[in-house]
Each structure stands twice: as C-alpha cells, then as structure tokens.
Amino acid sequence: MARMSVSRLQKMKQEGQKIASLTAYDASFARAFAAAGIDFMLVGDSLGNVVQGQDSTVPVTVADIVYHTAAVRRGAPEAFIIADMPFMSYATPHDAYLAAAELMRAGANMVKLEGGDWLLETIAGLKERGVPVCAHLGLLPQSVNVLGGFKVQGREQAQAEQTVRHALALQEAGAQLMVLECVPSELGQRITEKLSIPTIGIGAGAQTDGQILVMHDMLGMNSNYLPKFVKNFLTDGRDIDAAVCAYISEVRSGDFPQPEHRFD
C-alpha cells in the first residue's frame, strides 16, 4: 500500500472512500495502529486529559506535543501523523510558525489548529512556508473556558451558518483537511458537501469523509465518562489489535457511527 499523503487523502474523498483515524501518543500504540492499516494518526492535545490527567487540554505545551510526536514517529516511521498545535501556541502567525517548525521537525506531516476566520492569515502563511494545515471547527476543546463547557455547537441556525462560512474561508486560506467536532449530523453533512477538502468527524455524524476517536475512548478505557459519539470496540473477547481492526472496518463500511452516536 502506498504511503498516506495529503493528495491521497484528497483522492479518498473524491472516490468516496471513508478515512479512519485515531489519536496516538506513544510508539507501541502507533506501531499497532499502523500495522492495522489506520489512515492517519493525530498526536492530540487530548493527551492532557488521557495521559497527563488534566481537566482540559489547556495545560498542554508545545514541548509535550513534540515529545509525543517523536515517540509516535519512532513507532510508525511510514505513518501520516498530524500534530496538534497547543493552546496559545498560534496566537500570532509568528508564534504559529515557530511552533509548527518544532512539530514538523519532531516528525509531523501536518499540524492542526482550532478556530475560525481569525486564523486565515496564519493558515496561509503556514502553507506558504511548507506546513500542511488541518483546521478544526465545532467544539473547540482549547476554548472550553469561553464556551462554558463541552457542548454541541451549531444547533442554532446563525451559529451553523457561521460555521459553514468559516469552513469555506479556512479552505480558501489553504487548509487541506478539516476536523468537525460535536456538531449536528446535518451540519457535518452540509459542510462535507460544500468543501473540496476531506472532513474528519468526531461526533459530527456519518456523512463526513472520515472519523476520528481518542484511542482511549475507542478502547473503552474512560469508563467514568463515555461521550455519546463514542463506541467501545474492545468488547466481545477482542484484543487491542482486533478492536482497532474492527474500528477501521466499521468506519470504512459506514457502520460507525450509528444514529445513537450522532447529534441532531
């Protein structure tokens, strides 16, 4: 199988092939996910919650993401890896350039930023400087203190229309991938149909071009709280390898997510 790339992800969208992705934070799991055939891995700032035990992603630093990106790269040398840009590491375009350089040197193929049209100059500048960008709309975990908690975004018409406008603007600025988090399934479908770049959903319905889950959620390891959009694949006597293969298979076939995993 050919190595994953931005152009191959684009081709998968064009051909209607679903994209399966997971977060990864260390070499061992990265190796297992790559062996199972995952399309890409995200070194997410969710490591603040699931690895560091933080209450949010806000305390995560660039150094943290650099460390875990390097570990994932060592475990999966051929994988396509996206690295999250942590809270306030892209407050200005200059800040973003410096942080992105560190993440790319650590082994990332792409960086991910949370936010709307205030990022247009930053995204255009990153692309001009050779850094592929994944945008992120909907629920923005780094903005949880402003949002007042982890809430579904885009249910009101005005907010939905604004999200669509931001998605189109971010694509125009140079974003080559788009994560949509915790938005109504109808909005996820609408944005996916309007964009030429692939969309990756997490709680955004079944009509996005692909899906991503936090690996700990996919393995049912956060038993105290399982978000609505999560399914535990480590069931029915499966081991971890079988659970990952089941997840990939269900994403590609369209069997995941089911209606009970979506927001209306």
Give kind and range of the element (H or E) at residue 52: none
Which of 15, 78, 181, 260 is catalytic? The answer is 181
- Please give the annotated binding residues for Mg(2+), written as ranges: 45, 84, 114
Report if residue 54 sits inside a domain. Answer: yes
Q: What is the DSSP string of 22-34?
A: EE--SHHHHHHHH
Report if residue 254 sits inside a domain. Answer: yes
78 is catalytic: no
Contact between 263 and 182 (Cβ < 8 Å): yes
Chain-wide mean pLDDT for the chain? Answer: 95
What's 141's DSSP letter?
Answer: G
Give pLDDT, residue 222: 73
Structural domain span for residue 65? 6-261
Identify which of 122, 71, 145, 226 has the alpha carbon closest to the alpha carbon of residue 235: 226
The SS3 call for residue 133 is strand
Taking only the tens place, the pLDDT of each residue in 26-70 is 999 999 999 999 999 999 999 999 999 999 999 999 999 999 999
What's the pLDDT band for 149 if we cut at 50, 70, 90? low
Q: Which CATH number characterizes residue 126's domain?
A: 3.20.20.60
- Please give the annotated binding residues, written as ranges: 45-46, 84, 112, 114
Report if residue 71 sits inside a domain. Answer: yes
- Please give the annotated binding residues for 3-methyl-2-oxobutanoate, written as ranges: 45-46, 84, 112
Report if residue 1 sits inside a domain. Answer: no
Phi first, then psi, for residue 50 (nearest 5°) are: -90, -20
Residue 43: half-sphere exposure toward Cβ, Cα within 13 Å? 37
Contact between 102 and 77 (Cβ < 8 Å): no
Report if residue 40 sits inside a domain. Answer: yes
257: cis peptide before it, omega within 30°?
A: yes
Report if residue 15 sits inside a domain. Answer: yes
- Whole-model pTM? 0.96
Report if residue 29 sits inside a domain. Answer: yes
Residue 33's Cα: distance from chain center in Å? 15
**How many domains are contained in the chain?**
1
Taking only the tens place, the pLDDT of each residue in 212-256 is 999 999 999 875 677 899 999 999 889 999 999 999 999 999 999
